[in-house]
Amino acid sequence: MLSRLKIWVLLLSFLFLAVLPIVAEWIGEEFYISLVARMMVFAIAAMSLDLILGYGGMVSFGHAMFFGLGCYSVGILAFYELTNGWLQLFVCIFGTALIGAFVGFISLRTSGIYFIMVTFALAQMFYFLGISLEAYGGDDGLPIDTRSEFFSFFDLSEEWNMYYLILGTLTACTLFGWKCVNSRFGMVLRGSQANLVRMEAIGFSTLKYRLSAFIISGVMCGLAGFLLGNLTEFLTPEYMHWFRSGEIMIMVIVGGMGTLFGPLYGAFAYLIFEEVMAGYTEYWQFYFGPLLIILVLFAKKGLWGLLPGKENLGDD
């Protein structure tokens, strides 16, 4: 269970996100609305990766693939003037689930280093595929003229509506994720992270559980991409580049791996750091690179780990 302090931190964080547009409008800095919306999109992606990374021990180094695929499902359909949000959402969920099943099935045949390299290579395959699809902008990307259309009273071209759709999705994903990791399914998943052979021995067909987790995580990340496509109104294979996968993984680590909520804060911390540093120097990665190494070596528990209280059974 969560400690009381952590529950308060979470509630306050979500409350803060809920009132942010009102405050931003009030002080006349509407720019913050889309900035924070973008951070929330990445928070969803980071949390989705944490589901398999932190709870399933699956080091997927190609998660940006789902991110991009979600974005493509909006962009390509909008390109053909199919702007019905429900249709786009269906294609997004179904498509990422299908590709997640394929990639998961191939990569879960391997383990350890191989798993990292296979997910990496397959994600790059989709990246290069995106580049070579000249019809959809290829390398340069493709503007998305119309955002998804869900209800007539909920027009996404309003920045506020977009913001609250993203916040709503983030909240739903967080609740779902929390249910998921604490369910029987989540326990089996964690068990197979701790000891795969033992889980097999007591009769669980772990591949089924791990593959399902991989697909769930992929779909969740695809949703994040779906939202990002709508938010930025732009489609580019760059979203699938492995640097993105690395970034998402950094967010998980910065926030705290295997804590579910930590990656949300990790995403915010990373993007704020980027925003601030990029203002000072063009070469901000020159400083970030060594900082990342230090973080990985010495600060494994992440931001969420700074708060007292344990979360999962067996945590120390």
Partner 1 sequence: MTITLFLEQILNGVQFGVFLFLISAGMTLVLGIMNVVNLAHGSLYMVGAYVATTMYSLTGNLFFAFVLMVPILLVVGMIVEIVVLRTLYERDHMDQVLATFGLILFFNELVRIVWGVEGLGMNIPESLSGSIDIGVPYPSYRLLIIAVGILVSVLLYVMITKTRMGMQIRAGASNRSMIGALGINIRILYTVVFGIGAVFAGFAGLMAGPIISIESGMGEEMLIFAFVVIVIGGIGSIRGALVASIVVGVFEIVGRSILPYILLQLVPPDQAQTAGPAMASMLVYILMVVILFFKPQGLFPARTG
Instruction: Please write down the HEC assignment for all residues of 172-216.
Output: HHHHHHHHHHHCHHHHHHHHHHHCHHHHHHCCCCHHHHHHHHHHH
Are 191 and 37 spatial neighbours (Cβ–Cβ below 8 Å)? no
Tokens 């939202």 appear where?
A: 227
Are 99 and 73 spatial neighbours (Cβ–Cβ below 8 Å)? no
Least distance to partner 1 from the beta carbon of 109, Å? 5
Least distance to partner 1 from the beta carbon of 117, Å? 5
DSSP string covering 20-72? HHHHHHHTT-THHHHHHHHHHHHHHHHHHHHHHHTTT----S-THHHHHHHHH
Indicate whether 120 belongs to the interface with partner 1 (CB under 8 A): yes
Are 75 and 233 spatial neighbours (Cβ–Cβ below 8 Å)? no
**Cα–Cα dist 293/297, whole Å:** 6
Cβ contacts of 166 within 8 Å, gap of 6 or more: 37, 40, 41, 44, 227, 231
Interface stretch with partner 1, choices 159-167, 218-226, 228-236, 292-300 (CB under 8 A): 292-300
Are 228 and 38 spatial neighbours (Cβ–Cβ below 8 Å)? yes
Least distance to partner 1 from the beta carbon of 134, Å? 7
Q: Which of residues 250-269 bind partner 1 (CB under 8 A)?
A: 250, 253
Which H or E run contains 10? Answer: helix 4-26
Indicate whether 207 belongs to the interface with partner 1 (CB under 8 A): no
Least distance to partner 1 from the beta carbon of 93, Å? 23
The residue among 123 and 221 lying less far from partner 1, judged by its C-beta, is 123
Torsion, CA 9, CA 12, CA 14, CA 16, rounded to 10: -130
Least distance to partner 1 from the beta carbon of 139, Å? 11
Which of 12, 15, 129, 172 binds partner 1 (CB under 8 A)? It is 129
User: Amino acid identity, residue 118?
Assistant: V
Indicate whether 182 belongs to the interface with partner 1 (CB under 8 A): no
Least distance to partner 1 from the beta carbon of 91, Å? 19
By CB under 8 A, the count of residues binding partner 1 is 41
Least distance to partner 1 from the beta carbon of 260, Å? 17
Indicate whether 112 belongs to the interface with partner 1 (CB under 8 A): yes
What binding mask, one character per residue, do residues 47-76 give for partner 1 by CB under 8 A, x or -? ------x-----x-x---------------
What binding mask, one character per residue, do residues 217-256 give for partner 1 by CB under 8 A, x or -? -------------------------x---x--xx--x---
Are 242 and 62 spatial neighbours (Cβ–Cβ below 8 Å)? yes
Residue ranges binding partner 1 (CB under 8 A): 53, 59, 61, 106, 109-110, 112-114, 116-118, 120-122, 124-125, 128-129, 131-135, 242, 246, 249-250, 253, 283, 285-286, 288-293, 296-297, 300
